[in-house]
Structure 1
Amino acid sequence: MLQCLSPSRRMVLRISWLGRKLQLYLFCGPGSGKGTQCSNIVEHFGFTHLSAGELLRSEIKSGSENGTMIDSIIKEGKIVPSEITVKLLQEAMVKSENDKFLIDGFPRNQENRLSFENVIKISPEFVLFFDCSEEEMVRRLLGRNQGRADDNVETIRKRFRVFEESSLPVVQYYDSKGKVKKINAAKPILEVFEDVKTIFQSYGPKAA
């Protein structure tokens, strides 16, 4: 059962249908390998990657009234309301000519999940759970040498706790419905993606 696992050992991919549009939702504990696996899924299976964080930042850079409001909310240290992020995701999906989407960074909590499902009217087909120890994720974050100011042990562990408190209940919700599938993300990148490909084989490779 999921309750027996370390709560910060998390990277989750949720798959669901919106009409004929296949959506894959990505959740992860920091350092679980999100960026690499996102790139692999996009490259090999033809998904469009939509990052909630990037959409918010792009809206801010646009200088729109909505972007100014989002910027103010973030600068005040508040959480951007779910309806704003849901609207940005919807607009991005409509603009795309693709019918398969990898949505990253949303929903982050149960309130996000409820808001998204109430608007989009979806229920995930299953949850793909990437399991990686907290110690391994710390090692990866400290060793990635990207010059990030938040890559120190104390801040990293705080990020784990935030993920545990906010996103873990979403995982547990779907686990209670028997929809969680688990993959060992502590293995080398190529081996992890081989496991991912097994899950995705029914969707076929990206069109040439």
Structure 2
Amino acid sequence: MSFKKLFLIIGAPGSGKTTDAELITEHNTDTITHYSTGDMFRAEVESGSDRGKIIDSFISKGNLVPIEIAIETIVAAIKRAPNDVVIIDGYPRSQEQMEALDNFLASEENVSLVNVIEVVVSEDVARERVLGRARGADDNNTVFDNRMKVYTEPLSLIQSFYEERSMLVKIDGERSIEAIVDEMESFITSRI
């Protein structure tokens, strides 16, 4: 198995992190693979597997998927990625997820976390974007408030954990998609 370089992108619901990562991957199809934890979980739910049914019981309410299931799903995806550079967005979302990933990486010689990129947007901008794009039943104010709370509660712990390791990079997510993607793409390609 080849050596994988991992980049994590975190940001509030509606920060644009998935779109940013998708565009960067489109520009670098030979070198970068992108996974959204949301996409990984949805694919598992759609497969009709037992793990998918468990995942669905959590995400349908806007709650976090249990740590063991999240790590299993993510680790499997990183290892089978066709490219050596992997971008995952929407992870970690809790101190527990962060520590579980850190423990996994500590014992994994073939995967190295390079950076964590935070796409920073205000709550007002996030709300406007999420409620404006309503993709499904979960996109209403009540669920948005829960998702936002779930995102912000552990955020300072996650930020300080990666700051202490000089891994956290913040990008202003309230600009045009082009500007954000250019900055993020230049940064990632400079590190690989």
Q: 1:179 to 1:37 in 2, by over 3 A?
A: same
Q: 1:110 aligns with which of 78, 82, 95?
A: 95
The residue number in structure 1 matching 2:4 is 21
Q: 2:126 aligns with which of 137, 142, 148?
A: 137
The CA RMSD over aligned residues, in Å, is: 3.0
- Corresponding letter in the other structure for 1:55: M
Q: Are the counterparts in 1 of residues 8 and 89 from structure 2 also a CA contact under 8 Å?
A: yes
In the superposition, the TM-score normalised over structure 2's length comes to: 0.77
* Structure number with larger C-alpha Rg: 1
Q: Are the counterparts in 2 of residues 31 and 140 from structure 1 also a CA contact under 8 Å?
A: yes
Provide the rounded CA distance (Å) in 2 between the counterparts of 1:187 and 1:76.
30
Q: 1:172 to 1:96 in 2, by over 3 A?
A: same
Counting only pairs closer than 5 Å after superposition, residues 43-122 of structure 1 correspond to structure 2 as 43-46=26-29, 47-71=32-56, 79-121=64-106
Provide the rounded CA distance (Å) in 2 between the counterparts of 1:66 and 1:188.
37
Q: How many residues align?
A: 186
Unmatched runs of 5 consecutive residues or more in structure 1: 1-17
Q: Are the counterparts in 1 of residues 6 and 114 from structure 2 also a CA contact under 8 Å?
A: no
Once the two structures are aligned, what percentage of the paired residues are identical? Answer: 32
1:172 Cα shift?
A: 2.5
In the superposition, the TM-score normalised over structure 1's length comes to: 0.72
Q: Are the counterparts in 2 of residues 117 and 123 from structure 1 also a CA contact under 8 Å?
A: no
Q: 1:182 to 1:66 in 2, by over 3 A?
A: closer
SS in 1 for 2:153: helix
Unmatched runs of 5 consecutive residues or more in structure 2: none
- Corresponding letter in the other structure for 1:139: E
SS in 2 for 1:101: strand
